């Protein structure tokens, strides 16, 4: 029988594994596909961004032994996308069709920053499950650990997603759609969760 364990991820090795899991899980999301048509560029962009994010986040995960298979992270108040991309550097206008991947990535982050919740909150993300292990409840398990902590400490949570199936998933965890935006013609939903 295979034993999977929900746990808080700590240390460089576990957070690095978590960043890799999230990068592989989100590499082909609708918004990532709109940023670059090169799968290796998408993987590198995701891994670089997630490695930086997880270093300063509260990270829950699902492991088998020392192998991380699912991750759900939340950045502390004041350290999410709105603080990383201040208003004066945001690229809110859609980039030129000839824009490079970095310019498209900045536009993506700028729209997310513009829709960030203005009040103090824990910004959820990345959330991902290793491809090949999806659909087994590991993402829900990692998120449940995070949500239980939000509830026990009275924390407001915020996230964004670009898949309708994820909207339903997060609603099942107590999130509500608070805003919507189109990024590269891809619908994105911004969701809020108040503590229970």
Phi and psi at residue 99, to the nearest 5°: -60, 150
Cis status of the peptide bond prior to 126, with omega within 30 of 0 = yes
pLDDT digits (tens, 9 = 90+) for 48-68: 999 999 998 999 999 999 999
Closest CA to 115 of 185, 193, 190: 190
Instruction: Answer whether 107's CB lies under 8 Å from 97's CB.
Output: no
Angle of helix 11-26 relative to helix 39-55, nearest 10 degrees?
A: 140
pLDDT digits (tens, 9 = 90+) for 91-149: 999 999 899 999 999 999 999 999 999 999 999 999 999 999 999 999 999 999 999 99
Q: What is the C-alpha separation between 191 and 154, in angstroms, rounded? A: 17
pLDDT at 56: 87
Bridge partners, 72 (sequence order): 60, 127
Topology given in CATH for the domain delimited by 5-193: Aminopeptidase (3.40.630)
pLDDT digits (tens, 9 = 90+) for 65-95: 999 999 999 999 998 888 889 999 999 999 9
pLDDT at 2: 66
Q: Is the pLDDT of residue 1 over 60?
A: no
Instruction: Answer whether 101's CB lies under 8 Å from 45's CB.
Output: yes
pTM for the model stands at 0.94
Confidence band for 170, pLDDT divided at 50, 70 and 90: very high
Instruction: Answer whether 157's CB lies under 8 Å from 175's CB.
Output: yes
Q: Where are the domains of the chain?
A: 5-193
pLDDT at 81: 87
């Amino acid at each position: 029988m295979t034993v999977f364990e929900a746990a808080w991820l700590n240390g460089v090795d576990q957070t690095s594994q978590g960043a890799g899991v999230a990068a592989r899980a989100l590499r082909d999301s609708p918004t990532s596909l709109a940023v670059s048509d090169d799968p290796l560029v998408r993987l590198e962009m995701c891994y670089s961004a997630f490695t930086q994010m997880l270093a300063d986040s509260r990270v829950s995960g699902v492991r088998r032994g020392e192998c991380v298979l699912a991750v759900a992270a939340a950045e502390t108040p004041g350290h999410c996308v709105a603080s990383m991309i201040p208003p004066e550097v945001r690229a809110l206008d859609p980039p030129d069709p000839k824009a490079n991947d970095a310019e498209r990535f900045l536009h993506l982050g700028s729209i997310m920053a513009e829709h960030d919740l203005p009040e103090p909150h824990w910004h959820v993300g990345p959330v991902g499950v290793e491809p090949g292990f999806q659909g087994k409840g590991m993402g829900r398990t990692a998120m449940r650990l995070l949500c239980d902590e939000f509830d026990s400490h009275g924390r407001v949570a915020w996230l964004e997603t670009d898949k309708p199936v994820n909207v339903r998933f997060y609603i099942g965890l107590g999130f509500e759609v608070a805003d919507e935006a189109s990024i590269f013609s891809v619908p994105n939903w911004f969701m809020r969760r108040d503590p229970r």
